[in-house]
Amino acid sequence: MKNMSLKEIAAACGGTYHGDPALLSKEASSVAIDSRKVQKDTLFVAIKGARVDGHSFIPQVMDQGAICSLSEQDLGDVTYPYIQVASCTEALKDLAEHYRRSLDIKVVGISGSVGKTSTKEMIASVLSEKYCVLKTEGNFNNEIGLPLTVFNLRKEHEVAVLEMGISHFGDMEPLAKIARPDVCVITNIGYAHLENLGTRDGILKEKTSMFDFMNPDGTVILNGDDDKLRGYTSERGIQPVYFGLDPACPFHAEQIQKMGLKGTVATFVTPSSSFSAHVSIPGDHMISNALAGVAVGYALGMKDEEIIRGIEKLVPIAGRNNLIEAEHYTIIDDCYNANPASMKSSLDVLAFADTRTVAILGDMGELGADEKKMHAEVGSYAVKKGISLLICIGTLSAEMANAARTASEASSDSDTKTLVYHFDTKEAFYRQMDQLLKEQDTVLVKASHFMEFPEIVKRLQVQ
């Protein structure tokens, strides 16, 4: 890793080097916090977690070939080099900021309440048609994950697409300082993390603080369909570029043809052209994601034909509107995480199915004082979309079930009433699953991550 000698590492994180001075010029080949990922010349950072303290693995990783370890402890008279720091977590961020500054690379930073990951995947798919791209993998979008993603950048990479997740005031600043984005994308300002951020205006303030550390000659790309982002004025005088379904947005879509669970075909309009492309993942939100990809592609000098190929090559990932054709059911695996807006979007997708529709929904976290009301709104929405069977699991999901029953009973059409069931736990649901589900059902599975709904997806696949 260029500019990552032990001398530079110690200086970047304000640490004190202990060991043979002759090794100070050696460069680390990689950075890891997991002892299982340590290879020859890896820099090991001993993070102290809730259950495991990385310091206990330092002797082991040095035997495995690590070049050095970062430690908050004085390790005494040891035979291997280490750098003592006040905080390994802060040192990890300082090192990532140092490494990012040393790279001649374009960075796209993505944030938003809903759709960060699916938008990241679309943007990366588009940009990969012209550039060598590194993207955030999985949920590596926080103060630990983002630095580890940055450390994976190598000389062959031309663009990094970095997802940036926040849940508290002050979370964005360290992420933005590391990423230093050239292009900033915000998908929307929703209701996720209201428990910590108070209001949507609080969320807007925190997410837009990304701009404080962006390239001053860079581009801000915002969702023009979002009421908080539309008309946003930056204190730094940056004029945003807008994408959205609203024709007033410079990047918008027309002639949208929905093809059920096979996706959508649309005409994408840019400030200088228009073209048709097929988005294989269904849902209006995927057209919005594609528009973000088009806008980023234009910001980085791509041609229409390159952008079209990138849009059409996108494939779903596990837990994100991933369509699974199992033996007995068609499963929409969207159980990575959830909030009210993404729940409703997923119900929109489910409603496209031409079979009986089943939604297995669970609790949503971090919604603040209005959490019961927001769960109830999702239940009512499921009935409005004509979902055949709604299965609610979890404590808060009782509100979802109660609202759905009320809405269904109020419906004048007895043939389209939604059947509603509530279970306190997944285990209680499993005991009745065979009686509730039918052959050829299309089944949506979605809840916040802590509900561990991937377990349900696996059960459905082996039924």
State yes or no: 113 annotated in a binding site: yes
Q: Are strands 183-186 and 106-111 parallel, antiparallel or unpaired?
A: parallel
**Contact call for residues 351 and 387 (beta carbons, < 8 A):** yes
* Half-sphere exposure for 142 (CA within 13 Å, toward CB): 6
CA-nearest of 382, 433, 431, 374 to 407 is 382
Token pair for residue 22? Answer: 């002759």
- Distance CA(45)–CA(96), nearest Å, equals 12
CA-nearest of 336, 321, 350, 331 to 433 is 331
Label residues 234-260 b or e (16+ Cβ within 10 Å = b). eeeebebbbbbbeeebbbbbeeeebee
* Half-sphere exposure for 329 (CA within 13 Å, toward CB): 26
- Cα 187 to the chain's mean position, in Å? 11
State yes or no: 114 annotated in a binding site: yes
State yes or no: 117 annotated in a binding site: yes
State yes or no: 207 annotated in a binding site: no
Helix (H) or strand (E) holding 269: strand 264-269
Q: Are strands 159-163 and 183-186 parallel, antiparallel or unpaired?
A: unpaired
State yes or no: 107 annotated in a binding site: no
- Distance CA(318)–CA(339), nearest Å, equals 18
State yes or no: 115 annotated in a binding site: yes
Token pair for residue 343? Answer: 């729940």
Helix (H) or strand (E) holding 278: strand 274-279
Would you state the torsion angle of the CA atoms of residues 310, 313, 319, 321, taken in this order, to the nearest 10 degrees? 90
Token pair for residue 43? Answer: 């820099």
Which residues participate in the annotated binding site for ATP? Answer: 112-118
Which residues participate in the annotated binding site? Answer: 112-118
